[in-house]
């Protein structure tokens, strides 16, 4: 296992050009519930313990994070960092800490051992309850489309959830293994969010990263399920690149992010047309935005806060979309469509859109079982069809359902 550095923060310079075999997967294998695990395309982090929590004291969150890191540095950490989760709702408390120690390795995708298959799911019996029922979700999409065609707003992202319950204890390390080994290039994470609760997932979407003056954002919007048949899979990818509905949905998100970043950056580069990225279950339209940060004191989280929530997870106009979400969805999103990530004392960091995830909770009591709440959303525009959006959310659920061995 790589050396634990209690005072070290992740830097690209700390990742060797030719990492040793097993340097990243050792960290994945070492994860245990209660620890904090985050793997990105630039590094793999495994954090132990809590040096300090980021307080919920009414100040803007980026300011609280900055001061928490500074206090940790003053108490003996040479280069501490903050890790954790930020919820969708702006007034809900975040789950961010300065860990006591952090082990760092190269990206999972750079480790040849990540190709080894994980152990199969245990075969635990799960009770699955959709919230809402697919038919109810479809009616919510219909209503949103009607309101958009009447000119009330331009886009809204509507989500639904699945509640899974089992009598068997949750095996979080095994779930994380299956997620990470299936999509090693994704942003894989397992982060405590409260007593007995852990946010686990494999997000494909970088909200924003900052390294020195360099900013990168990678909005995703417009999706289609993948196929096990190669010819059909390629056909679906090509169709997505031609889809007027999906291209419009993507353009709405990219344009909003361009406007949000403009006051904070220079040399902002936004490609004219999207490309494609793929996960194990989905194709997504993708645009990589790059820029130079306008001021050296702007942190990664300040930039992320300027972007969040993007139309890719909320809609546009934002205030109206939030209201429609509250009127339509039958559950609290919690940390779903929030952010997960890290930031160091220099203000460098990576913040990721919290999708393809579940919140795990140990049930406690003599039964010793556990519960999972899975989330999936779809961007609704005026041309959306309820049956297609319901199918898209079902395909997105598969990322996590496969990790627990549930077939729907």
Dihedral angle computed from the Cα positions of residues 220, 225, 229 and 235, in that order, rounded to the nearest 10 degrees: -60
Closest CA to 163 of 392, 387, 375: 375
| Sign of the CA dihedral running 49, 52, 58, 61 | negative
Per DSSP, the residues of 244-294 read HHHHHHHHHHHHHHHHHHGGGEEEEE--SS-EEEE-SSEEEEE--EEEEES
Residue 228 gets which letter from DSSP? S
CA distances from 257 to 38, 310, 355 (A): 25, 7, 18
Facing residues of 81 across strands?
344
Q: Report which of 218, 180, 145, 208 is spatially closest to residue 343, judged by C-alpha positions.
A: 208
Active-site pick, 104, 155, 302, 396: 155
Catalytic residue flag (residue 396): no
Element (H, E) at 199: strand 197-203
Q: Tell me the two tokens of residue 231.
A: 């010819």
Active-site residue among 104, 205, 329, 359?
Answer: 205
- Give backbone dihedrals phi and psi of 220, rounded to 5 degrees, phi first: -120, 135
Going through 17-154 in order, the beta strands assigned E by DSSP cover: 36-39, 44-48, 52-53, 81-86, 95-98, 101-105, 126-131
HSE of 199, CA atoms in CB hemisphere, 13 A:
33
Is position 205 annotated as part of the catalytic site?
A: yes
Using CA atoms, how far apart are residues 231 and 180, in angstroms rounded to an integer?
26
Task: Give rounded-to-5 percent helix, strand, coil for the chain.
Answer: 30, 30, 40
Q: What is the DSSP letter of 61?
A: H
**Interatomic CA distance for residues 290 and 30, integer angstroms:** 34
Give the Cα separation of 343 and 51 in Å (integer): 15
On the question of a cis peptide bond just before residue 317, with omega within 30 degrees of 0, the verdict is: yes
Report, as residue numbers or ranges, the catalytic residues: 155, 205
């Amino acid at each position: 296992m790589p050396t634990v550095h209690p005072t070290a923060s992740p830097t690209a310079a700390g990742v060797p050009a030719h990492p040793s075999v097993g340097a990243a997967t050792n960290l994945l294998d070492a994860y245990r519930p209660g620890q904090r695990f985050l793997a990105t395309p630039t590094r793999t982090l495994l954090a132990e313990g809590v040096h300090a929590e980021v307080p919920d004291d009414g100040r803007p969150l980026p300011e609280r994070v900055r001061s928490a890191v500074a206090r940790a540095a003053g108490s003996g950490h040479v280069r501490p960092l903050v890790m954790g989760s930020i919820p969708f709702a702006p007034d809900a408390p975040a789950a961010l800490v300065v860990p006591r120690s952090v082990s760092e390795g190269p990206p999972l995708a750079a480790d040849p051992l990540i190709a080894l298959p994980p152990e199969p799911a245990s075969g635990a019996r799960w009770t699955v309850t959709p919230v809402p029922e697919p038919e109810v979700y479809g009616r919510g999409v219909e209503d949103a489309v009607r309101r958009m065609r009447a000119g009330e707003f331009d886009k809204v992202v509507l989500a639904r959830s699945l509640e899974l319950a089992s009598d068997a204890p949750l095996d979080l390390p095994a779930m994380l293994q299956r997620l990470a080994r299936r999509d090693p290039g994704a942003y894989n994470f397992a982060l405590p969010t409260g007593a007995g609760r852990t946010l686990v997932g494999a997000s494909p979407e970088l909200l924003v990263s900052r390294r020195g003056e360099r900013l990168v954002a990678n909005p995703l919007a417009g999706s289609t399920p993948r196929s096990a048949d190669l010819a059909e899979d390629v056909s679906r990818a090509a169709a997505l690149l031609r889809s007027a509905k999906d291209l419009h949905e993507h353009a709405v998100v990219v344009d909003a992010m361009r406007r949000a970043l403009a006051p904070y950056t220079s040399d902002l580069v936004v490609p004219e047309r999207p490309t494609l990225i793929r996960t194990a279950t989905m194709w997504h339209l993708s645009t990589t935005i790059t820029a130079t940060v306008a001021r050296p004191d702007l942190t990664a989280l300040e930039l992320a806060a300027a972007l969040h929530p993007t139309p890719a997870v909320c809609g546009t106009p934002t205030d109206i979309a939030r209201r429609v979400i509250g009127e339509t969805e039958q559950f609290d999103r919690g940390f779903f469509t929030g952010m997960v990530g890290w930031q160091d004392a220099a203000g460098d960091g990576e913040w990721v859109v919290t999708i393809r995830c579940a919140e795990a909770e140990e049930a406690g009591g003599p039964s010793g079982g556990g519960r999972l709440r899975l989330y999936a959303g779809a961007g609704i525009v005026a041309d959306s069809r309820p049956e297609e959006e319901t199918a898209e959310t079902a395909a997105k659920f598969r990322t996590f359902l496969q990790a627990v061995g549930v077939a729907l």
